[in-house]
Amino acid sequence: MSEIEGKDDAEVAVAKSPPGSRLRLAREKADLSLDNVAAELRITKRYVQALEGDDFDALPSGVFIVGYLKAYARLLAIPVEEVVDTYHEYTAQLNGDGVKVKTVKVKAIKENNSGEDDLLLLSTSSKKPLKKGWFGWLIAVVLVFAIVVMFQDDTDSRMTSEGQVNLGSVADISEQEAPPLPDSDAVSDEISADGAAVDEEQEPAPASDEAVSSQIVVVELPAKTENPPLDSIAFNFSKECWLEVIDAQGDVLNSDLYQPGESKVLQGYAPFEVLLGNVKAVSLALNEQAVDLPANLGGQKVRLRVSAAGEIIVLEEQVAH
Amino acid sequence: MIKRLRGMFSNDLSIDLGTANTLIYVRDRGIVLDEPSVVAIRQHNGQKIVEAVGVEAKRMLGRTPGNITAIRPLKDGVIADFQVTEKMLQHFIKKVHEAAWFQPSPRVLVCVPCLSTEVEKRAIRESALGAGAREVRLIEEPMAAAIGAGLNVSEATGSMVVDIGGGTTEIAIISLNGVVYSDSVRVGGDRFDEAIVNYVRRNYGSVIGEATAERIKQEIGCAFAGSETREIDVRGRNLAEGVPRSFTLNSDEILEALQEPLAGIVQGVKSALEQSPPELASDIAESGIVLTGGGALLRDIERLIAEETGLPVIVAEDPLTCVARGGGKAMEMMDGRSIDLLSS
């Protein structure tokens, strides 16, 4: 009972002071010696004295001090939280002053900080996210700018290529009146001026093939006016034949079966990879010029590569059984 | 490149991947996630679909129908189910970055038990990478716990940390930013629960679930005789009659039930003290032992260890989050002064 009364007295007496004096008063009320306490808490007498004298520098780091205080308060049956709280308040005050001096030294950011508990925490944590966020935003802005610039470049180039198309179509209109030879040159000149990925090795069409090419041109023209940089490849079938064409970009242009008398014109980028199911039944023309298939093909099913210059490389040959 | 860019919009995370709970600490934000390490998985046409993770999944533990299994992917502090752990980490990392525009790609520091093998470390590293981490660092759990508890680890003074987790108890002596001695005892909160389940079955002929056992431990569990006796009403299935029955347990009975696992921890602490170099042992004798981890919340466990060792024993403040907080601080320390606190 006397212990509890003593506790109340002590509480009134040392309301805001560090916990040491309160512990000492309580210990004296409980009639315990320093040695008794040291033995109970299993710490040295020196530490008990340091606790009572608020000499926290003589003690190990903070976690131990709190632990000792808790154990001591429990031993003396005084409220543990209150003791720990007063200790925290006391150290915060000490640290607060110290930090205040520091921050003032570094930069006079906040002058009216009246020794806040966690001034250190406040000042550092308010700085860091700001810096990080600012950096993030900077990058975001730069990215958006880069995308806008790229997009503009893109639209510019698209506009010039459209202009090209118009020119090409104008030239094609004139083609119907004029002979096809100089005109195809004009188109290829246009293309090479543009610098696009188009071959410039288009040979002038030999006059002897005019009959064949004119037949093809009728089918081909509308498509060609749309896509001037494309190469065209045409097939005529005299027997039933399977045809598969892959262009330089890997696009499968065609994969189908054709009947005798049919013809097929395809647009794409040379060189073409052509698979013919019946090579003997096909006549081939590249960019309106007839291309002779090698006569010495023994097989029926043949895989060819047709280059932009009209050269033919046999990749695979298979004799049908 | 894209990962690095995404990283600028992600935070550095410190993850305490524990057997019982996973905690994530973010710099400047504190503990942002504290959820049980439980994943509920639904079997659907031979495919595994994650049904729920964390608190939700824990509620399902022991209450699932046939096609759903609620599992704990970590056993004894190490990964038991690699894929599920990865999914769980993914879920948690995403949860922490809920407001982000991009898929997060944070730097991650994961705490590993000090005696984990290279294979186990690799498993943890891989699953963190698989969960989207940009960079994974590992730190030994007691080191993180010591930093989180506020110990001055960089001093040339020995300090002893006992981290009582869900699956393991990590005991370590730390000095000069390094672990001088460490040991890992496979006794933790789970073993406490198990012991309570076994005790109730033996003495009351009733079966209780792990969740009930955990509740009993948290409410009336104690480690040292002589403190006040508390009681709790529990319902369990009676083995003989096969119907649920209600009965009352008191803290003395729980103390009896916990004797064996507690003895394991005390033994670990004692052998650590035996093995420690004399200079460090004297430091520890002077300042004391620090307890962290959820197990430190068991009532009077510090009194038990103090009684057994004759040394002052202190429970760290907020012991559950010590490891995660310590990991976060360790990351800052490493960034600031390039101190090597890593285990690998």
Higher pLDDT, A259 or B313: B313
Query: Distance between CA atoms of A6 and A77, rounded to whole angstroms?
Result: 11
Residue A118 tokens read as 């966690």
Query: Distance between CA atoms of A24 and A37, rounded to whole angstroms?
Result: 11
Query: Distance between CA atoms of B122 and A98, rounded to whole angstroms?
Result: 45
What is residue A321's predicted lDDT score, i.e. its pLDDT?
54
Q: Which residue of A has its CA nearest to B289?
A: A64
User: For residue B9, what pLDDT band results from cuts at 50, 70 and 90?
Assistant: low
Q: Do A63 and B151 touch (CB under 8 A)?
A: yes
Query: Distance between CA atoms of B14 and B252, rounded to whole angstroms?
Result: 38
Q: Is B297 on the interface with A (CB under 8 A)?
A: no
What is residue B1's predicted lDDT score, i.e. its pLDDT?
56
Q: What is the ipTM of this complex?
A: 0.81
Q: Which residue of A has its CA nearest to B317?
A: A63
Q: Do A63 and B306 touch (CB under 8 A)?
A: no
Say how many Å lie between the first and final Cα of chain A, rounded: 115
Cβ-based contacts of B286 with chain A (< 8 Å) = 43-44, 60
Q: Do B9 and A136 touch (CB under 8 A)?
A: yes
Strand partners, B17: B22
Query: Distance between CA atoms of B29 and B21, rounded to whole angstroms?
Result: 19
Residue B16 tokens read as 């305490």
Torsions phi, psi of A173, nearest 5?
-60, -45
Q: Do A63 and B149 touch (CB under 8 A)?
A: yes
**Nearest CA to CA, how far is A317 from chain B (Å)?**
47
Per-residue pLDDT, averaged over A225-240, amounts to: 75
Strand partners, B112: B140
- pLDDT above 90: residue A245: no
Which of B287, B303, B321, B329 is the best substitution to test chain A (most A C-beta atoms within 10 A)?
B287
User: For residue A166, what pLDDT band results from cuts at 50, 70 and 90?
Assistant: very low
What is residue A121's predicted lDDT score, i.e. its pLDDT?
35
Per-residue pLDDT, averaged over B242-263, amounts to: 94
Which of A63, A118, A124, A134 is the best substitution to test chain B (most B C-beta atoms within 10 A)?
A63
User: For residue B2, what pLDDT band results from cuts at 50, 70 and 90?
Assistant: low
pLDDT digits 0-9 by tens, B52-107: 999 999 888 878 888 888 888 988 778 888 889 988 998 998 888 876 666 667 88
What is residue B96's predicted lDDT score, i.e. its pLDDT?
85
Q: Which residue of A has its CA nearest to B309?
A: A42
Q: Do B317 and A136 touch (CB under 8 A)?
A: no
pLDDT digits 0-9 by tens, B117-175: 888 888 889 888 988 888 898 998 999 999 999 998 888 889 999 999 988 899 999 99
Query: Distance between CA atoms of A16 and A28, rounded to whole angstroms?
Result: 20
Q: Is B157 on the interface with A (CB under 8 A)?
A: yes
What is residue B7's predicted lDDT score, i.e. its pLDDT?
54
3-class DSSP assignment, residue B38? coil
Q: What percent of chain A has pLDDT over 70?
A: 57
Selection from A108-112, B3-7, B287-291 with the highest mean pLDDT: B287-291
What is residue B312's predicted lDDT score, i.e. its pLDDT?
93
Q: Is A63 on the interface with B (CB under 8 A)?
A: yes
Nearest beta carbon to residue B314 from set A67, A128, A135: A67
What is residue A319's predicted lDDT score, i.e. its pLDDT?
67
Residue A222 tokens read as 């509308």
- pLDDT above 70: residue B271: yes
Relative to beta strand B169-175, strand B39-44 is: unpaired
Per-residue pLDDT, averaged over B285-313, amounts to: 93
- pLDDT above 70: residue B193: yes
**Nearest CA to CA, how far is A61 from chain B (Å)?**
6
pLDDT digits 0-9 by tens, A56-76: 888 888 888 888 888 888 888
Selection from A170-179, A219-228, B112-121 with the highest mean pLDDT: B112-121
Whose tokens are 């209600």? That residue is: B246
- The DSSP call for residue B342 is B
Query: Do residues B300 and B227 touch, judged by C-beta distance below 8 A?
Result: yes
Query: Do residues A242 and A270 touch, judged by C-beta distance below 8 A?
Result: no
pLDDT digits 0-9 by tens, A167-187: 444 444 444 444 444 444 444
Q: Which residue of A has its CA nearest to B28?
A: A125
Per-residue pLDDT, averaged over A241-261, amounts to: 83
Q: Is A120 on the interface with B (CB under 8 A)?
A: no
Q: Do A61 and B150 touch (CB under 8 A)?
A: yes
User: For residue B29, what pLDDT band results from cuts at 50, 70 and 90?
Assistant: confident
What is residue B247's predicted lDDT score, i.e. its pLDDT?
92
Query: Distance between CA atoms of B167 and B215, rounded to whole angstroms?
Result: 17
pLDDT digits 0-9 by tens, A82-110: 888 888 888 888 776 544 433 333 333 33
